[in-house]
């Protein structure tokens, strides 16, 4: 069953899966506290830990490769402004800014 769970400083939120839209855009639409400033992969205020469903997400972008250390990416960190769900499934993401 497809389900998106976003864990932010305002709590845990269950949302319908939306494909081809960034996580920051989804959080903004639902008025969730998901930090961001640039939405271009530069500021990393939207740093996100992928807890479940990495296989449902787009590939790591060049912006993420430039901004996040390889060790961070290996631990499952991505940028919310770059993450998009590309196929249905269970996805759990946690906002984890520096």
pLDDT digits (tens, 9 = 90+) for 33-69: 898 999 999 999 999 999 999 999 999 999 999 999 9
Q: What is the pTM of this model?
A: 0.94
φ, ψ (nearest 5 deg) of residue 71: -65, -40
Distance between CA atoms of residues 84 and 45, nearest Å: 17
pLDDT at 33: 87
How many C-alpha atoms does 38 have within 13 Å on its Cβ side?
11
Percent of the chain residues topping a pLDDT of 90? 94
- Tabulate helix, strand, coil % of the chain (nearest 5): 20, 30, 45
Contact, 40 vs 82, CB < 8 A?
no
Mean pLDDT score of the chain: 95
Query: How large is the average pLDDT for residues 12-36?
Result: 94
């Amino acid at each position: 069953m497809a389900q998106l769970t976003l864990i932010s400083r305002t709590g845990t939120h269950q949302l319908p899966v939306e494909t081809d839209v960034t996580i920051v855009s989804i959080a903004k639409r639902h008025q969730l506290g998901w930090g961001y400033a640039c939405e271009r992969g530069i500021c990393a205020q939207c740093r996100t830990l992928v807890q479940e469903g990495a296989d449902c997400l787009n590939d790591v972008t060049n912006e993420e490769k430039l901004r996040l250390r390889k060790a961070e990416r290996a631990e499952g960190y991505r940028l919310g402004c770059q993450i998009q769900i590309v196929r249905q499934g269970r996805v759990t993401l946690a906002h984890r800014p520096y």
